[in-house]
């Protein structure tokens, strides 16, 4: 879907040949689909057309992607993995916000698509904004992220069943992430360059997560402490 896939592929050296081929096929399908969606619009391209252009069967497409929207929003699994691992593996004594702050800044500095900063990203977001189906899938992904982080917070803090604080913590963390990245994307869509947006993005990320840390301090309870 973007130049960063080369980096991801480089990190897959420990995979079996079969798994590498599966990933390569998945990536090829997504890249072909992204090109078609960008050229014609998401809603005007069928899965059959994607399959034909990628030289695979429609069944193969659905073996790799549960739904058409995931052909374009193919980084949802990666996002879930990155953010939940950050929360589960945070340093002792840290709140769940601290590792997410670091992750967001690292992603932005690397111009990773999940970091919100990149000169090629406006084209991607215009396709999303033009498609009701993609916008709905983004909203679903936000819910999936909140569910996954709720489980990560509850597991890593030993919260009692029924304790509402892991859910509230997860919702606040996801809202902070969406807000800082959404603000950066809005500036990119308005025509600013990523390098010009970056300083303000870092500052706003810091301010936002400082406020989140204070909110979690007031919230208190087991969600405040990191893993033992």
What is the set of domains in the chain, with CATH numbers?
A: 5-71 (1.10.10.60), 76-224 (1.10.357)
Distance of CA 107 to the CA centre of its chain: 10
Given this model, what pLDDT does residue 13 score? Answer: 54
For 201-217, b/e burial (b = at least 16 CB within 10 A) is bbeebeebbeebbeebe
Q: Give the distance, in angstroms, between the CA of residue 46 and the centroid of all CA atoms in the same chain.
A: 25
pTM of the model: 0.84
Average pLDDT over residues 87-114: 95
Asked which of 4-8, 140-144, 166-170, 186-190 is least confident by mean pLDDT, the reply is 4-8
Residue keyed to tokens 């549960």: 66
Average pLDDT value for residue range 178-207: 97
Structure tokens at 139: 């909203």
Interior CA angle at 150 toward 149 and 152, to 5°? Answer: 60
pLDDT given at position 4: 43
Q: Residues 20-77: pLDDT tens digits? A: 899 899 999 999 999 999 999 999 999 999 999 999 999 999 999 999 999 999 999 9
């Amino acid at each position: 879907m973007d130049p960063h896939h080369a980096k991801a592929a480089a990190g897959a050296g420990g995979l079996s040949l079969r798994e590498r081929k599966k990933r390569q096929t998945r990536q090829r399908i997504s890249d072909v689909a992204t090109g078609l969606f960008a050229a014609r619009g998401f809603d005007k391209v069928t899965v059959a057309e994607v399959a034909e252009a990628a030289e695979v069967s429609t069944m193969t497409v659905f073996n790799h992607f549960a739904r058409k929207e995931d052909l374009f929003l193919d980084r949802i699994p990666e996002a879930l993995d990155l953010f939940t691992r950050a929360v589960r593996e945070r340093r002792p004594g840290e709140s769940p916000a601290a590792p997410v702050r670091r992750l967001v800044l690292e992603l932005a500095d690397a111009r990773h698509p999940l970091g919100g900063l990149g000169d090629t990203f406006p084209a991607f977001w215009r396709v999303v904004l033009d498609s009701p189906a993609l916008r709905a899938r983004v909203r679903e992904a936000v819910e999936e992220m909140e569910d996954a982080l709720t489980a990560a917070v509850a597991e890593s803090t030993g919260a009692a069943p029924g304790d509402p604080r892991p859910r509230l913590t997860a919702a606040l963390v996801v809202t902070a992430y969406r807000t800082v990245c959404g603000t950066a994307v809005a500036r990119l869509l308005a025509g600013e360059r990523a390098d010009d947006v970056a300083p303000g993005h870092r500052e706003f990320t810091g301010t936002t997560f400082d406020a989140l840390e204070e909110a979690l301090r007031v919230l208190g309870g087991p969600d405040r402490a990191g893993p033992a």
